[in-house]
Structure 1
Amino acid sequence: METRAHHVLIGFFTVLVVGAALLFALWLGKADADKQFQTYDIVFQEAVSGLSKGSTVEFNGIKIGDVSSLRLDPQDPRRVIARVRVDSAAPVRTDTQARLVPAGITGMSIIRLSSGENMASPPLAAASGDEVPVIIATPSPLTKLLADGEDVVLNVNELLIQARELFSADNVDSIGRTLRNLEQATGTIAAEREEISLALRELARASGQANAALVEATKLVGAANRLVDVHGAQTLKSAQQSMAAFERAMLTVDALVSDNRGALDSGVRGVAELGPALAELRDTLASLRAITRQLENRPTDYLLGLEPVKEFTP
């Protein structure tokens, strides 16, 4: 009996020691966990599909914690608040950004934290009235795309319907006829390629001849312009001098007539001799005026001896 009682006491004492050790380990682990982790609230203004309690929290691809709880914002049900517990050594600052990203193809999601550009930003602290520091998450483009997936699918369906209408039997037949006509046209062009090449060579030859004629015409016009500039100016100057001399002669004749008015009136012979002279002077004046008008209007034709083109009047 005494041996059995000693064994019971030893076993009971052993159980007490092991239980005390376990309790001490749990307390030490809890204290160490509370000391090494920091709690944050991440606010999402979108659906958090695939996110659940225990989901991973990463910082630049490295796991630093997990999601402790998820709840809706009592003030705004459209917002979701995820409380996370992360390593206290993680550099969570005021410019740290949070985003919901999918974890592969499993349908699960994780929270990814990323640092801002300002490395001198202070550590994130809780604002007045908040229990823990708050991070406003950046909307995820993929989440928005999945949320709008119904509209995308509808647009794709409409596009497929339009494509099916485009490639209907009638349109396919029309496209086939068009291709056959195009093939016939290309075959005709290929058969007539020698004639087309000949026509192109003739066109090139005609263009060369036209260019040569244009060069000759340019030279002729230049020569005519030089002729007009040199000889025309001299002729006009001579005509002007002749007109001036004729005007002086007419003035002399007028003075002579005025001075001999009495003798002319008394003698018929003087009148008969003076009349032909005046008529000849008038003809000369008319000829000089005609020459002057031709030089002013058509100096090239006059100098080259060309006749004016007469207009046909029906």
Structure 2
Amino acid sequence: METRSNHVLVGAVVLILLAVLALFTVWLAQVSGTSEKYYDIFFKEAVDGLNKGSPVAYSGVPSGQVKEIAIFEKDPQYVRVRISVDQDVPVLQGTTATIQGIGFTGVSQVQLDGAIKGAPPIRCPDKDPGMDCPLGVPVIPTKQGGLGAILSSAPQLLERLTTLTERLTELLSDKNQASIAGILENTNRLTDALADRGPEIAATLAETRIAIQKAGDAAQQIGELADTTDQVLAQDVKPAMGNLNRAVQSAQHSMETLDSAIGDARPGLKTFSGQTMPEVNQLVRDLRQMTEALNSVAQKVDQRGATSILASPKLPDYEPKDDSQ
């Protein structure tokens, strides 16, 4: 009986120790878990090269690892990737997640970047957290980049490659090849002709260089002539213009003086035209009559002598009329 009771006591002590060890392990797990933060990322493209335990980098700095990869049950076109990052990693508003390949090994990692300075951290809202935290942890938005961007644009790339191939086929048809061959042949002929005319082209270039030099000399002379013209204008024309301005001012002063003199003489001119001019006309008429009388006297003197002026004119002889007849 004593041996059986000792075995029961030892078994009970072992069970108690195992329970304490289990509790201690759970406590350590909880303590170690408090130093990490969990986030969900929903990728719409394939997550090739990404596995559970793959690294998570923040701006290239290792900051955590992938904890879980699964298809999102509510929308199967998304792949849910849960990550854990260190407590001190600043996962702020504006942070985005991309899948980035590591070298040429085919292994990928989750790259976090794009945080805005001073922005609040990404966290679940207090009200209605189901919209932003469908599985109880904050969600980091995605951004296409690296391999994901290449894979998402692969259909468009293939379509463009197909179009380019068709156009190259049309370009390299037999007809176009014949045309290209003719163009190359004409180009060879033109090259040979230019080579044959090399000396003439060199001479033409030399003459062109001389003409350009002469044009430069002419331009320099024109500049010097312009400077000389400016000096002449400054030394000769400007003083002459000053003298002309003074002459015009003097003539204007003379005209003003003449206008004043005419204004002063205007009453005398009115008297001369109203009284003196009729008397002068009468005097002219009297002088004309006297001139006519003197002309008549002069004619008598010429014809009859000086006595014709003093003696009376001679009467004609009277002859009696004969009655017998």
Normalising by structure 2, report the TM-score.
0.48
**Structure with greater Cα Rg:** 2
**Normalization by structure 1: what TM-score?**
0.49
